[in-house]
């Protein structure tokens, strides 16, 4: 199943506005083959699915498996995002204090106490892209990664590693 195959599902979600809950969305039979963690489905497909069509329409969703992984802080410094969001992470990095302040207070407290984000962003192994490449790409969490980059630049408290959901090729797809 290609990401673009979910376009009708995204259209239904957008047409219904806020009345279409995550529970309704995630119970849709079209999503059953994915067997992805709820946090990934919610962030990638429910919250922003239609936004990502430009960059990921050909992504074979059933070939992606997700795992929560620790990623060194420095790895995020040059990690790209999709073409349609070029410059977005850098924009958030310009003023990390502002982007934390405009979020709920618990996010700021978590950064101050732990030097990381409260919710793990989504990263994608670039070998899954067309054309394939090496390394990881920021899929969702552009603000979080921008705040991290800005905090590193401004020498604010940053943990050495950060949890992220990483989408990698399924073993059967990679073999």
Q: What are the structural domain ranges in the chain?
A: 1-62, 64-169
Statement: the pTM of the whole predicted model exceeds 0.75: yes
* Run of H or E residues at 148: helix 142-153
β-bridge pairing 136-140 and 122-125: antiparallel
Cα–Cα distance measured from residue 78 to residue 152, given in angstroms and rounded to the nearest whole number: 12
Q: Which CATH class is domain 64-169?
A: alpha beta
- The pLDDT of residue 172: 62
- The pLDDT of residue 102: 97
Whether the Cβ atoms of residue 146 and residue 100 lie closer than 8 Å to each other? no
Q: Cβ–Cβ contacts within 10 Å for residue 144, how many?
A: 27
Q: What share of the chain is helix, strand, coil (3-state, %, to 5)?
A: 55, 15, 30
Residue 44 makes CB contacts below 8 A (sequence gap 6+) with 52, 122, 139, 140
- The pLDDT of residue 174: 47
Q: How far is CA 11 from CA 38, 42, 51, 158, in A?
A: 20, 16, 11, 39
pLDDT per residue of the chain (175 residues) written in tens, 0 to 9: 999 999 999 998 888 877 889 999 999 999 999 999 999 999 999 998 999 999 999 999 999 999 999 999 999 999 999 999 999 999 999 999 999 999 999 999 999 999 999 999 999 999 999 899 999 999 999 999 999 999 999 999 999 999 999 999 997 654 4
């Amino acid at each position: 199943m290609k990401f673009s195959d979910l376009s009708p599902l995204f259209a239904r979600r957008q047409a219904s506005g806020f009345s279409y809950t995550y529970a309704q969305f995630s119970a849709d039979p079209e999503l059953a083959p994915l067997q992805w963690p709820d946090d990934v489905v919610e962030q990638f497909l429910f919250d922003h699915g239609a936004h990502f069509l430009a960059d990921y329409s050909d992504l074979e969703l059933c070939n992606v498996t997700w795992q929560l992984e620790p990623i060194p802080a420095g790895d995020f410094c040059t990690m790209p995002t999709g073409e349609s969001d070029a410059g977005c992470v850098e924009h958030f990095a310009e003023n990390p204090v502002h982007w934390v302040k405009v979020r709920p207070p618990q996010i700021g407290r978590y950064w101050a106490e732990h030097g990381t984000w409260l919710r793990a962003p989504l990263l994608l192994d670039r070998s899954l892209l067309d054309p394939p490449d090496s390394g990881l790409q920021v899929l969702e969490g552009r603000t979080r990664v921008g705040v991290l980059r800005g905090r590193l630049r401004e020498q604010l408290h940053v943990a050495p590693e950060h949890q992220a959901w990483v989408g990698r090729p399924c073993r059967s797809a990679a073999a």
